């Protein structure tokens, strides 16, 4: 298993454009999470999927943000009409190993978004 992967690693876009990020979780994990991390801060929770169902969304996730996990495997996070304040690192994590009582989340390398 190669761990959680995210694409692209970097994205530069102009304000007002739409962007989409992809996350491929660890294959046997049924839970998937999106976080946002700004410079000098810890990651902040955005949303959570169990299989294909989106079970929780943070208030940080405005109407311009949408996340999907259509087949319970990979997930996409789309930001519409990007704003400069959206510039951040977007992290994906997965969890759900059968023997993991702590439900440890394993993180991908992140997608760094810069909105000009």
**22 interacts with another protein by CB under 8 A:** no
Q: Is 28 in the site for another protein (CB under 8 A)?
A: no
Q: Report whether 92 contacts 25 (CB < 8 A).
A: yes
> Is position 103 an interface residue for another protein (rule: CB under 8 A)?
yes
Give the integer Cα–Cα distance in Å for 95 and 81: 31
Q: Which two tokens stand for residue 49?
A: 């999927």
The answer to whether residue 74 forms part of the interface with another protein (CB under 8 A) is no
φ/ψ region of 103 (left if φ > 0, alpha if ψ in -120 to 50, else beta) reads left
Contact 52, 71 (CB under 8 A): yes
Q: Which stretch binds another protein (CB under 8 A): 10-18, 21-29, 37-45, 72-80?
A: 37-45
> Within 10 Å of residue 52's Cβ, how many Cβ atoms?
14
Q: Is 48 in the site for another protein (CB under 8 A)?
A: yes
Considering the complex, what minimum distance in angstroms separates the CB of residue 14 from another protein?
A: 25
In the complex, what is the shortest distance from the CB of residue 8 to another protein, in angstroms, rounded to a whole number? 14
Give me the residue label for tokens 């208030």: 59
In the complex, the residues that contact another protein under the rule CB under 8 A are 31, 33, 40-45, 48, 50, 55-56, 91, 93, 101-110
């Amino acid at each position: 298993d190669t761990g959680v992967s995210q694409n692209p690693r970097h994205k530069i876009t102009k304000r007002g454009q739409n962007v989409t990020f992809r996350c491929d979780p660890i294959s046997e994990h049924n839970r998937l999470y999106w976080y946002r991390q700004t410079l000098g801060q810890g990651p902040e929770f955005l949303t959570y999927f169990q299989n294909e169902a989106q079970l929780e969304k943070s208030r940080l996730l405005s109407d311009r943000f949408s996340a999907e996990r259509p087949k319970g495997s990979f997930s996409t996070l789309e930001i519409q009409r990007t704003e400069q304040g959206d510039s951040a690192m977007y992290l994906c994590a997965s969890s759900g190993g059968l023997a993991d009582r702590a439900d440890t989340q394993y993180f991908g390398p992140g997608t760094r978004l810069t909105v000009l």
